Amino acid sequence: MGKLKLTLFLAFKSIIRGNRWAIVLIILVMSLSFANLILTPSILSGVTNTLNEQQVDTLFAHIVIDPKDEDHYLSNIDQTIKKIEQVHGVVGASAHLNSTAFMEYQWQDKNAPSDRGKSGSWTIIGINPIKEANVTTINENIIEGSYLDENDRDEIVLGVEIAGGDKAQTSPFLTLEGVRVGDDLRLTYPNGIQKEYRVKGIFQAHEMGKADRLAFVTKKEMASVMGRSIYADRASQILVRIEQTGDETIFIKKLEALGIDGEIRSWDEYGGAVGSIVSSFNVVASLISGIGLVVAAVVMFIVIYINVINRKRQIGILRAIGIKRSVIIFSYIIQTLFYAAIGVILGGLLFGHGIMPYFEHNPINLPIGVVSLAIKPVVIYSAVFGLILAAVFAGFIPVISIIKQSIIKAIWGN
Amino acid sequence: MIKIADLHKVYGRGITKTHALKGINMEVKPGDFVAIMGRSGSGKSTLLHLLGLLDTPTSGNILIDNIDVLQLPEAQKGSFRLERLGYVFQEYSLIPEMTILENVFIPAICLGKEKSYKQRATELLKTVGLEERLSHYPNEVSGGEQQRAAVARALINRPKIIFADEPTASLDMVSAKVVLDLLKKLNRELGQTVVMVTHEPEDEKYVDRVIWLRDGYVSNPHLAS
């Protein structure tokens, strides 16, 4: 009891009566280190979240239903969509009837059939615009013109990387080189049908993969092109949006229980290259956090070391009196733990009331989209644990190095 | 009470080797007030450090109360210092973050004398004339007052022996006299054993006997026991 009381007493007196500037500096270093330990991973998590959200919002929704391997299309679509929409927690379901098409712009200006002109082959998707708006955000990303209406037949909406022009990031020769709303395109489908469409809208989804390289017409139009009687109630895919990202597995089981005849998968199984990028970001985030922690530990060590060295004589005197080494060591560890706790609290307040609100009002505008901070609890726990562990070592090592010296050397300050 | 036999202390190695003590033999009996004197570099502070278990000799024996203290493990040496020895350093050795009262009762907390340590510390500070300075910090009192507080701290655990390493070296004459009178009073009235290193010839009048050191030897061996 005497030892514990003395340990706490020594720590308390050092904190209360110690060099105030040194204490302020230590706590400042700890606060900023803690905020930094959360900030960097949160930015990277924000980037990965944005990438994931874009995948969900523009390409796959949360759940994708594909035909089984032996089938080319899903059947009884209207009935299936109704069944899916009745599941509690499903926001919407939309059928896609996919094809490819050879698209030509200003084809009238071609001098010869061999002249490539402004053309290329892209995926074109037939959708019900109303149902699709419940599932993806293409309708919200129109940058020119307007979105499709349910009864549109000769209108097409293009991704910006097909249309080309100033806002496209793809090299011009891989686009239609500047299609504008109101322009006409000629599409040639794989079944040989050739048809002209007026560009109704151009969208920019900012998605890194392929969303901006898609074109949309109504499903009625696509069924008409492909053969109405057969394709009116068929689909290449059904996309399902649910209320809460992360619940995909639960809803996949619910949809399987409905007896839907298709392969039901979560959006992240389609991630492909973007999934690899996300995984890479997670590795980078871990590395940066680790380096940040080491830097924080070294800075804390230096500041605390200088502080402890300045008390070398006092440590020697305490030992000369007969105070046990363990009491002196633990008194310094308690001090650093106290500084770390204050650092965590102040760093947390700085992050929660300063950095986070700032980024909420000023999100980072990157080429891949708008990125906000994404804070994972595990990052906070790791930062708290890491900082406290670093503080313990930063307090322990300097004091143990002095304790190991002879008492006389410590008192003389050698 | 204290018996030293053939005590040697060598600092450094090779060409920097210094033989500070070259076979010291001496005894201190209970209730003695002994001064160790000598020129600078004669080895008197080194001897007191060894007696106070603050340093270890190169060879030799130190018996305190018939305990071979050099054989004690480091942790037990700390306990021995805490319970049986009091040490007054040459320069002000109070902890600046603690009040005068706290500085005095610190060694008592470690012994777990929780109920009485504040009262005893207060009484000791009255004895040394610092009853008005209990809540002052070291930088708020004079050098002489700090040194008297250091004497009070040395006494808090009722040690059998007090070692004082040139306790008046940093003090003016008036403060030095107060401290020496205090040590004398403790010796005479309480029977406290005191071993004091000093280089002031006038301090001789306070002590029972003087052991002179010269170049690491006792120069008056007939008075060393």
In a domain, B112, yes or no: no
Number of domains in chain A: 2
In a domain, A64, yes or no: no
Nearest 5°: CA angle at A153, between A150 and A156? 90
Domain co-membership, A24 together with A99: no
Whether the Cβ atoms of residue A392 and residue A301 lie closer than 8 Å to each other: no
For residue B204, give its domain range: 2-94+154-223
Closest CA to A315 of B12, B163, B93: B93
Continuous H helices in A86-192: 129-133, 160-163
Whether the Cβ atoms of residue A241 and residue A62 lie closer than 8 Å to each other: yes
The dihedrals phi and psi of A400, each to the nearest 5 degrees, come to -70, -35
In a domain, A196, yes or no: yes
Nearest 5°: CA angle at B15, between B11 and B20? 30
Domain co-membership, A228 together with A319: no
**Angstrom distance (rounded) from CA A46 to CA A382:** 18
Whether the Cβ atoms of residue A96 and residue A237 lie closer than 8 Å to each other: yes
In a domain, B117, yes or no: no
The partner residue sitting opposite B81, judged by closest CB among A17, A322, A408, is A322
pTM value > 0.80: no
Are B112 and A406 in contact (CB < 8 Å)? no
Q: Which residues of B touch A (CB under 8 A)?
A: 49, 52, 54-55, 75, 78-83, 85, 87, 89, 93, 95-98, 102, 106-107, 109-114, 137, 153
Residue A85 CA: distances (Å) to CA of A69, A88, A220, A255, A393:
25, 8, 20, 10, 57
Domain co-membership, A31 together with A77: no
Hey, which residues does A96 pair with through a beta bridge?
A237
| Structure tokens that stand for B38 in this block | 């000598």
Are B95 and A314 in contact (CB < 8 Å)? yes
In a domain, B99, yes or no: no
For residue A11, give its domain range: 2-54+275-412
**The pLDDT value given to residue A103:** 94
In a domain, A132, yes or no: yes
Q: Give the residue from A230, A261, A292 where a domain finishes.
A: A261
In a domain, B66, yes or no: yes
Domain co-membership, A144 together with A230: yes
Domain co-membership, A284 together with A227: no
Domain co-membership, A311 together with A235: no
Are B97 and A317 in contact (CB < 8 Å)? no
Diameter of chain B measured on Cα atoms: 54
DSSP A236: S
In a domain, A59, yes or no: no
Three-state secondary-structure class, residue A48: helix
Domain co-membership, A243 together with A104: yes
Please report, for the domain that includes residue B218, its CATH number.
3.40.50.300
Percent of chain A with pLDDT over 70: 97
Residues of B in Cβ contact (< 8 Å) with A406: 54-55
In a domain, B109, yes or no: no
Number of domains in chain B: 1
Residues of chain B with pLDDT under 70: 113-115, 221-225
pLDDT one-digit tens code per residue, A290-328: 887 788 778 778 877 887 888 888 899 998 888 888 999
Domain co-membership, A355 together with A301: yes
Are B55 and A407 in contact (CB < 8 Å)? yes
Closest CA to B59 of B25, B14, B86, B84: B25
Q: Give the residue from A227, A261, A295 where a domain finishes.
A: A261
Write down the ipTM of this complex: 0.87
Residues of B in Cβ contact (< 8 Å) with A2: 109-114
| Structure tokens that stand for B69 in this block | 């203290």
Whether the Cβ atoms of residue B4 and residue B64 lie closer than 8 Å to each other: no
Name, in order, each residue with C-beta under 8 angstroms of A21's C-beta and a sequence gap of 6 or more. none
Closest CA to A366 of A206, A211, A213: A206
| DSSP-assigned states of every residue in B165-223 | ESTTTTS-HHHHHHHHHHHHHHHHHH--EEEEE---GGGGGGSSEEEEEETTEES-GGG
Domain co-membership, A36 together with A106: no
The dihedrals phi and psi of A168, each to the nearest 5 degrees, come to -80, 145
Domain co-membership, A400 together with A368: yes
Domain co-membership, A303 together with A220: no
Residues of chain A with pLDDT under 50: none
**Angstrom distance (rounded) from CA A324 to CA B82:** 9
Which chain A residue lies closest to B81 (C-alpha atoms)? A322
Distance of CA B157 to the CA centre of its chain: 14
In a domain, B134, yes or no: no
Domain co-membership, A387 together with A241: no
**Angstrom distance (rounded) from CA B25 to CA B38:** 16
**The pLDDT value given to residue A367:** 72
> Tokens 């040459």 appear where?
B90
Are B110 and A323 in contact (CB < 8 Å)? yes
